[in-house]
Amino acid sequence: MDRTQLTRWVQAYERAWRSPGTEALASIFTEDASYLQSPYHSPVIGLPAIAQMWEDERTGPDETFQMTHAIVAVDGDTAVVRVEVHYGEPADQEYRDLWIIRFAEDGRCRSFEEWPFWPSRAITADHANPQRQP
């Protein structure tokens, strides 16, 4: 995997998310792929389960959002991408996300892990270290 291939994969992911149905998933995920929606969720395993999760999570093909990404690292079959998404026009919701992606030899994802962050879920210094006294 290199940066050009990774950029194409991220673009294909976005197109798949924007498209009705889930047929495009087979071109970006392996049949036995795992998809972890956050570090503390249980992974969704297998293409049919990932497709169902996508259908449950998306609001539809007319969902309005802008997505940008920046490649953080690519090392062999593993990549890290920082993603920022703004929903609505004008934007009324946003989040930032780190994706850890492991690829099969054919360039499809075999393991996808998200680390999402929403501004409303900001961690204050006191919450980050519960042992710390004010």
- Which residues are within 8 A (CB) of 80 and not within 5 positions of it... i.e. 6 or more apart? 71, 72, 73, 74, 98, 99, 100, 101
In a domain, 79, yes or no: yes
Contact (CB, 8 A) for 11 and 107: no
Note down the domain range covering 53: 3-116
User: Can you give the pLDDT at residue 92?
Assistant: 62
User: Can you give the pLDDT at residue 133?
Assistant: 34
In a domain, 122, yes or no: no
User: Can you give the pLDDT at residue 130?
Assistant: 39
In a domain, 133, yes or no: no
Q: How far apart are CA 131 and CA 19, in angstroms?
A: 46
Structure tokens given for 111: 């393991």
Contact (CB, 8 A) for 35 and 44: yes
In a domain, 134, yes or no: no
* Run means of pLDDT, 10 residues per run, the chain, 134 residues: 96 90 95 94 96 84 79 97 81 81 98 85 45 36
User: Can you give the pLDDT at residue 108?
Assistant: 98
CA distances to 22, 27, 32, 97 from 116, in Å? 22, 24, 23, 4
Structure tokens given for 126: 């006191």
User: Can you give the pLDDT at residue 118?
Assistant: 73
Q: Structural domain tally of the chain?
A: 1
In a domain, 129, yes or no: no
User: Can you give the pLDDT at residue 7?
Assistant: 97
In a domain, 123, yes or no: no
For residue 90, give the CATH number of its domain. Answer: 3.10.450.50
In a domain, 86, yes or no: yes
User: Can you give the pLDDT at residue 134?
Assistant: 34
DSSP state at residue 21: S
3 state SS of 23: helix
Residue 88 forms beta bridges with which residues?
A: none
